[in-house]
Amino acid sequence: MVLYYTCMNKKNKEYICIIDDEYQVIKALVRELSDFVKENNIVLKTYTSANDCMQELPLIGKDISVIISDLRMPEIKGSDFFLSVSENFPDIQLILLTAYHDIPDIQKAITAKIGALVIKPWDPDLLLREIEKGRRLYSLIKDNSKYMGMIENQLEAAGDFQKGLMSTSLPDIRNARIEHTYIPYPKLKVGGDYYDIIKLSDSKFVVNMGDVVGHGVRPAFVTAMLKVLSLSVNRKNIKEVFSPKKLLTLLNSEICKLMKNSKDILVTFTSLMIDTEKMEMTIANAGHMPVSIVNKDRCTTYPIPSPAMGFSTDIVYEEKVVPLNKGDIVTLYTDGLLESEIDHTKIREEVIERFFIQASKRSNFNESVIKDSKLVRDITDFHDDVALISIHV
C-alpha cells in the first residue's frame, strides 16, 4: 500500500482512494491530482490491492467521497470490489478506470452504480471533472442525510408533543367501559386524527373524534388547534345543556374563521353523548365515518349525511338520538382503519363491521379489530393515522 497524505483540517477529513495494481499508474495519478487535493484539503490514499482498501473501509469509509479503481486486478476484480463498496457504503462515488473492454465486468460495475467509466490512457481533465462531479454528488447526499436526520428529530419531537397534547384519561363512568387506540402514521411520527373523552356526570359523557384531511405536519398542527378549540367550545357548551350538534356547529364556525386562508383544510368530525342511566346516545356527524353499535351477531351503523367542517360558516348540523341496550358496543373510528396504500383501495365498511362482530366475542375488542384489519391486507403498519374507540355498555 502507498499513502499520499495532505490535509490541513484534521477534524473534517475527506478521503479519495485510488486502487490499481500497477505502481506506475498510481504514481501518475498522484502527480496529476496533487495540486487538486492540496487545494481542497483532501487525504489521497492509494492501494495496489483492493483487499487492502477493503480492510480500511470500516475505519474511514464514512469519510471517503470518491474511489477510483482499476477493473482487472489479481486478487479481486474492480467490479466485485465496487459491488461490495456499494452495498456497505452507498454514499461513496465510484469511478472505474480501465484499459479493458470486458463487457460482463463493466455491466457488473454498472450494477454497483458506478458514477463514471474512464478508459486508459485517461484524459487528466476528464478524470478531474468526473472526480469533482463525484465529490459534489457525495456532498449533496451527505447534506441530504443530515437534513433528513434533522427533520426526523423534529418530527420525533413534534410527535412527542402531540402525544402529550392529545393524551386523554379514561373517565370512570357507571355501567360503561371504554377502550381507545391511536396509531399515528408511522412514516411521519405525527398525525391528523383527534379524539377526546369528557365526563359530564357519573353516568353521562361525551366522545369526540375528528380527522384532518391529509398527512404530515400541517394536519398535525390543525389537530392540535382542534383540541384547543374543542375544549374551549365544550366548556361553553357544558355550562348549558350539552348538545353534540351545537358543538359541531360552533366548532365549524371557529374553524372556518381561523382557516379562511387555507381552503384545502377540511375536518371530518363526530360527537356523541352517552347517558348510561337513560341508556341512550345522541350523535352528531360532520362527514365522518358513521358510528356503529355491535351486539351479539349484529352490527348497526348510524350515518348522518352532512358535510365536513371548514366549508362554510352557514352549516347547521343535526343530531340523532339512539337507544342503547345492555351489552352494546359503540364504535367510532377514522378512515385510516380502512385505507390501503398498496392498491389505493379501502376495505369495505361491511368488512369492518364483520371485524366488529368477531371482536365483540373476544376479551380485547380494539386489539382484535386492529389485528384483523392488518391481516386482511397483509400489512404490518397502517398507511394513515388510525383512531379507534369502543364503548361497552
Q: What whole-number distance in Å separates Cα of residue 266 and Cα of residue 315?
A: 14
Q: Which residues of the chain have pLDDT under 70?
A: 1-12, 100-112, 151-167, 186-192, 214-221, 231-241, 261-264, 340-347
pLDDT at 136: 92
β-bridge partners, 199:
205
Domain with CATH 3.60.40.10 in the chain: 168-392
Listed in sequence order, the residues at least 6 apart from 341 whose beta carbon sits closer than 8 Å to its beta carbon are: 383, 384
Q: What whole-number distance in Å separates Cα of residue 359 and Cα of residue 116?
A: 58
Peptide bond between residue 121 and the one before it cis (omega within 30 degrees of 0)? yes
Helices (H), 268-379: 349-359, 365-377
For residues 209 and 390, the answer to whether their CB atoms sit within 8 Å is no
Torsion of CA 36, 37, 41, 46, to 10 degrees: 170
Q: What whole-number distance in Å separates Cα of residue 276 and Cα of residue 178?
A: 13
**pTM for the full predicted model:** 0.61
For residues 78 and 105, the answer to whether their CB atoms sit within 8 Å is yes
Domain with CATH 3.40.50.2300 in the chain: 2-147
Q: What whole-number distance in Å separates Cα of residue 44 and Cα of residue 89?
A: 18
pLDDT at 291: 94
Q: What whole-number distance in Å separates Cα of residue 302 and Cα of residue 304?
A: 7
Tell me the torsion sign for CA atoms 238, 249, 182, 205.
positive
Classify each residue of 74-103 as buried b or exposed e, where b means 16 or more C-beta atoms within 10 Å of its C-beta: eebbbbbbbbebbeebebbbbbbbbeeeee
Pick the CATH number of 2-147 from 3.40.50.2300, 3.40.50.10890, 1.10.3720.10, 3.40.50.1370: 3.40.50.2300
Query: What's the helix, strand, coil split of the chain in %, to 5?
Result: 40, 25, 35
What is the CATH number that goes with domain 168-392? 3.60.40.10
pLDDT at 65: 94
